[in-house]
């Protein structure tokens, strides 16, 4: 059994969707980041960065892992699924996974911050991070032009990018002009396991901001400004 410590955000979905796709049994421990649960000493003891997600693999000497990408790699390697069996294929998945961890995640995260949460609206900061996120979406779109998935069969690289790109509207971005990205997003959204993972620990409306968006943004603002 695996213990998953998470909250309803893209980095959390990366792991819950991976667990669902792999059909692994797991217990969910919600870490309410809006109320500072990530900073509690018991949690920081398992995640020194005080961020979600974290897992503990009870079947492997309580092996504890923080950083969503490292967790995804561990789960894929544990099961030999969602990652190719050959060295080059594995490295290709790692390349796209790293591209998400070092590129899309941080850039879209900052676009969210300046577009949604920052109390002062700074047009140049919003533009910078929205433009950079769109540039990265464009790279994914071009790559997906001749491919169903990022690397061969569906893999953890797809789950990682989908978890972020699915909430492009939360960053104020539309992808109508990126047809391959749009097609791929729709394909993954339609996978029952991914949809289930994206509702852990509870469903959200980040992907389709509604009339509650301002209220959600104000609540999140408090953790961003700390
Ligand atoms: N590099 C980390 C980033 C994790 C991260 O930033 N998690 C966010 C939610 S998406 C969080 O816990 N935020 C709480 C806070 O900012 O205090 C990973 O990929 O696991």
Instruction: Identify the CATH number of the domain in which residue 152 sits.
Output: 1.20.1050.10
Please answer whether residues 134 and 105 qualify as being in contact, where contact means their C-beta atoms are separated by less than 8 angstroms: no
Residues 104 and 191 in one domain: yes
Give the pLDDT of residue 223. Answer: 77
From the number of C-beta atoms within 10 Å of its C-beta (0-12, 13-18, 19+), residue 116 rates as buried
Please answer whether residues 166 and 198 qualify as being in contact, where contact means their C-beta atoms are separated by less than 8 angstroms: yes
* Tokens encoding 224: 């961003």
Q: What 3-state DSSP class applies to 9?
A: coil
Say how far apart CA 187 and CA 218 lie, in whole Å. Answer: 32
Give the pLDDT of residue 163. Answer: 98
Ligand 1 binding pocket includes 112 (Cβ within 6 Å):
no
Residues 216 and 132 in one domain: yes
Residues 99 and 54 in one domain: no
Residues 141 and 178 in one domain: yes
Calculate how far, in angstroms, residue 167's C-alpha sits from the geometric centre of ligand 1: 16
Tens-level pLDDT at each residue, the chain (226 residues): 999 999 999 999 999 999 999 999 999 999 999 999 999 999 999 999 999 999 999 999 999 999 999 999 999 999 999 999 999 999 999 999 999 999 999 999 999 999 999 999 999 999 999 999 999 999 999 999 999 999 999 999 999 999 999 999 999 999 999 999 999 999 999 999 999 999 999 999 888 888 889 888 888 887 787 7
Domain end: 44, 79, 114, which one? 79
Asked whether residue 96 is domain-assigned, the answer is yes
Residues 74 and 135 in one domain: no
Residues 106 and 188 in one domain: yes
Number of domains in the chain: 2
Residues 75 and 99 in one domain: no
> 119-154: per-residue pLDDT in tens?
999 999 999 999 999 999 999 999 999 999 999 999
For the chain, the residue count is: 226
Residues 160 and 131 in one domain: yes
CB atoms within 10 A of CB 45: 9
Asked whether residue 157 is domain-assigned, the answer is yes
Asked whether residue 158 is domain-assigned, the answer is yes
Asked whether residue 200 is domain-assigned, the answer is no
Q: Which atom of ligand 1 is closest in space to residue 11's alpha carbon? A: 10
Asked whether residue 106 is domain-assigned, the answer is yes
How far apart, in Å, do the first and last CA atoms of the chain sit?
35
Asked whether residue 203 is domain-assigned, the answer is no
Asked whether residue 202 is domain-assigned, the answer is no
Residues 91 and 13 in one domain: no
Q: Which atom of ligand 1 is closest in space to residue 67's alpha carbon? A: 20
List the CATH number of the domain containing 37. Answer: 3.40.30.10
Residues 56 and 163 in one domain: no
Give the pLDDT of residue 31. Answer: 98
* Residue having the nearest C-alpha atom to atom 13 of ligand 1: 51
Name the residue of 11, 65, 66 to mutate for ligand 1: max ligand atoms within 8 A of Cβ. Answer: 11
Ligand 1 binding pocket includes 10 (Cβ within 6 Å):
yes
Q: Which of 201, 207, 129, 222 is nearest to 168 (CA)?
A: 207
Ligand 1 binding pocket includes 163 (Cβ within 6 Å):
no
Give the pLDDT of residue 212. Answer: 86
Residues 72 and 100 in one domain: no
Domain that holds residue 184: 87-195+208-224
Give the pLDDT of residue 50. Answer: 98
Residues 110 and 216 in one domain: yes
Ligand 1 binding pocket includes 107 (Cβ within 6 Å):
no
Domain end: 79, 99, 121, which one? 79
Ligand 1 binding pocket includes 11 (Cβ within 6 Å):
yes
Calculate how far, in angstroms, residue 7's C-alpha sits from the geometric centre of ligand 1: 9
Domain end: 79, 99, 126, which one? 79
């Amino acid at each position: 059994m695996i213990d998953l410590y998470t909250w309803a955000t893209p980095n959390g979905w990366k792991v819950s969707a991976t667990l669902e796709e792999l059909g692994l049994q797991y217990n969910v421990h919600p870490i309410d980041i809006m109320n500072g649960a990530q900073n509690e000493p018991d949690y920081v003891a398992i995640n020194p960065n005080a961020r979600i997600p974290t897992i503990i693999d009870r079947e492997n000497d309580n092996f504890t892992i923080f950083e969503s990408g490292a967790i995804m790699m561990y789960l894929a390697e544990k099961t030999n699924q969602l990652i190719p069996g050959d060295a080059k294929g594995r490295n290709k998945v790692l390349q796209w996974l790293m591209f998400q961890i070092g590129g899309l995640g941080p850039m879209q995260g900052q676009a969210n911050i300046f577009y949604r949460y920052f109390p002062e609206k700074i047009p140049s900061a919003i533009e910078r991070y929205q433009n950079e996120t769109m540039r990265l979406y464009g790279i994914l779109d071009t790559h997906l032009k001749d491919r169903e998935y990022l690397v061969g069969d569906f893999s953890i690289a797809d789950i990682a990018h989908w978890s972020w790109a699915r909430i492009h509207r939360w960053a104020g971005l539309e992808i109508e002009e990126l047809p391959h990205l749009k097609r791929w997003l729709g394909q993954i959204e339609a996978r029952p396991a991914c949809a289930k993972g994206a509702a852990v620990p509870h469903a959200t409306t980040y992907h389709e901001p509604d009339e509650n968006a301002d209220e959600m943004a104000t609540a999140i603002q408090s953790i961003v400004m700390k």
